[in-house]
Structure 1
Amino acid sequence: MFQKVFSTLLIVLALSPAAFAAKATDGDIHKGDYKWFQFNIMQSIDNKIPFENQQDTYFEMEFGGRSGILDLYGYIDIFDVFNSPNSDRHGDTSLSATQDDNFFFKFAPRFSLDYMTGHDLNAGPVQEWYIATLFNVGDRALFEEYIGLGTDIQIPWLGKLGANLMARHVRENYGADDEGEWNGYILTTNWFKPFVEFENKSFITWQGYLDYKFGANKIADDVDRTSWSLEWFNGIYWHSKQYAVGYGLKYYQNMALFKSGGFAGETSGFGHYLAVTYKF
């Protein structure tokens, strides 16, 4: 299984544009340590979360940073934060158990192979290698665990692109047949590119991510499920030292491995996000 993960990741890297790699180790693994933490108020419009959870105003606590071998990103979303009857997460629970969900938690630690081995493993555009992990947790019946390989790739103009290829283990999945099984893989990428800077040191970014799940064949024979899904988020954000405001356009295909138009509703198409951020 992991041989397949490693081989596919090498193909992805081979297709990446060449650039100069930075040194990952220089004798002090804490030299580049940093951390960040922020609160977001998010408004989702026509997103394609299964079971018609399309409109909601929610609170997001987002965080990340680097400490020695550990590279970290995560967030927790608290749904229907204003207890609004206009939210699809509010009130009626007749459609699905997911409408009772109060939060969603994503936690993505990566552990530097360069720092753990004491060797610079960079090559061409590849800056650093990681053991990559990911946890997706809902408060009722969702718990996915991922493990695989990750890297940072230096892309011309764009800068650092994070990329991870991981195998998927399903602890809970709303009663699906793959609970307790290894089932499929995920390829994730993320980026953050400032492209307009102002005299007051504020700036505008293009930021986003792409998550591609594939090979989930143990539920593909279910008429309402599929073996692959795609989420592709592209955001334009204005940032100052303390605040950020942004708009995101997200494309979904078979969100959460549910076939669009089945009992989970519309799970493919475009959704919109508005965000206001306070930074610590």
Structure 2
Amino acid sequence: MKTKFLIGAFALLSTVSFAKYEPYNFNMLGLSIYKGHNQPDAFGAAGRDSYLEVEGANRYKLLDLYWFLDRNDIFKDPKSSKYNNSETVFVKINPRISIDGLINKDLSIGPINEWFLSYTYKGTNGNHGRLDYHYVGLGVDLNVPKMDFFKANLYSKYNNKNFGAHENQWDGYTVAISYGATIHDFQNGFKLTFGGWGDYDFDLKTSERGENAKKTALALNNQVRLSYNNFGVSYTYQINDNFTGRNQANSDENNHSYGVHYTINF
């Protein structure tokens, strides 16, 4: 199925009339502190957490890169769900290589602005075992009305580590999206924005483990942010269904958080 998908995608690209590829470059670096509530947990009670996040978004010619690192329980709160927990760091790295750039052609067609070869790594450590995922597939940038950007990727997912379940094996597929829009630019310098991301896993093989493991999982995260120059405050709400592919404990708990941010563009 994976081979047929890739062959079909490149066959579609071969039908497109080409124009010259013209890349653009940008860099963003952000530092955030979040206070989260009702954090989902497939192995225990939902709880709260305060965490530091460092993130970056970079585009240089063919390379489109997004990454972040979360450090949990930064205030050592005894009531935090991560207090004295070995699950202290979560990292995501998503490099994408422009197919348009590789062949020096503009492959845009309809709402698709650009095509990418896409890879994502997600990893963490924890009391319940280690999470270590690899995703490979195709990505696109889409032109969506009213949106500043809209990115979509279709992946095949490989579990290196998965809390002891279905490890060192391919494990289903993932549709991953991210998006952002400007709600309003105020004349006094304030800016109100909306953005988020969503991951939908399907055909998960972890469902073979037992009745609490499921074939699908969903996380949909949306944030409203008010910014002034480099500073901002935000509210985030995330919908979860079968968190980490399991329907047990508090895996379906929806969570929300408040954040403060400092962001630079260069």
Partner of residue 91 from structure 2, selected from 99, 105, 111: 105
Q: Distance in 1 between matches of 2:244 and 2:113?
A: 31
Shift of the alpha carbon at 1:8? 9.9
Q: Distance in 1 between matches of 2:250 and 2:5?
A: 30
Say which SS state the counterpart of residue 74 (structure 2) adopts: coil
Aligned to 1:96: none
Aligned to 2:15: none
Equivalent residue letter for 2:97: F
Say which SS state the counterpart of residue 113 (structure 2) adopts: strand
TM-score by length of 2: 0.89
Aligned to 2:13: none
Alignment of 1:87-236 (within 5 A): 87-91=80-84, 99-140=85-126, 141-176=130-165, 178-236=166-224
How well do the aligned residues superpose, as a CA RMSD in angstroms?
2.0
Aligned to 2:79: 86
Aligned to 1:38: 30
TM-score by length of 1: 0.85
Higher strand share: 2
Contact 1:9-1:165 within 8 A present in 2 as well: no
- What percent identity do the matched residue pairs reach? 25
Q: How many residues align?
A: 252
Say which SS state the counterpart of residue 179 (structure 1) adopts: coil
Identify if the C-alpha distance between structure 1 residues 235 and 7 changes in structure 2 by more than 3 Å, giving closer, same or farther: farther
Identify if the C-alpha distance between structure 1 residues 119 and 9 changes in structure 2 by more than 3 Å, giving closer, same or farther: closer
Shift of the alpha carbon at 1:25? 1.5
What's the CA shift string for 1:106-128, capped at 9, x where partnerless? 11111100001111111011000
What's the CA shift string for 1:203-260, capped at 9, x where partnerless? 111111111011112433422211110001111111222111100111000011011x
Q: Distance in 2 between matches of 1:210 and 1:8?
A: 25
Identify if the C-alpha distance between structure 1 residues 144 and 75 changes in structure 2 by more than 3 Å, giving closer, same or farther: same
Aligned to 1:20: none
Shift of the alpha carbon at 1:180? 0.5
Contact 1:159-1:193 within 8 A present in 2 as well: yes
Partner of residue 266 from structure 1, selected from 250, 257, 262: 250
Say which SS state the counterpart of residue 207 (structure 2) adopts: coil
Unmatched segments (≥5 aa) in structure 1: 11-22, 92-98
Of stretches 210-219 and 126-135 in structure 1, the one that deviates more from structure 2 is 210-219
Partner of residue 59 from structure 1, selected from 46, 52, 64: 52
Aligned to 1:276: 260
Unmatched segments (≥5 aa) in structure 2: 11-18
Contact 2:142-2:152 within 8 A present in 1 as well: yes
Aligned to 1:255: 243
Show structure 1 runs of 4+ deviating over 6 A.
7-10
Identify if the C-alpha distance between structure 1 residues 201 and 251 changes in structure 2 by more than 3 Å, giving closer, same or farther: same
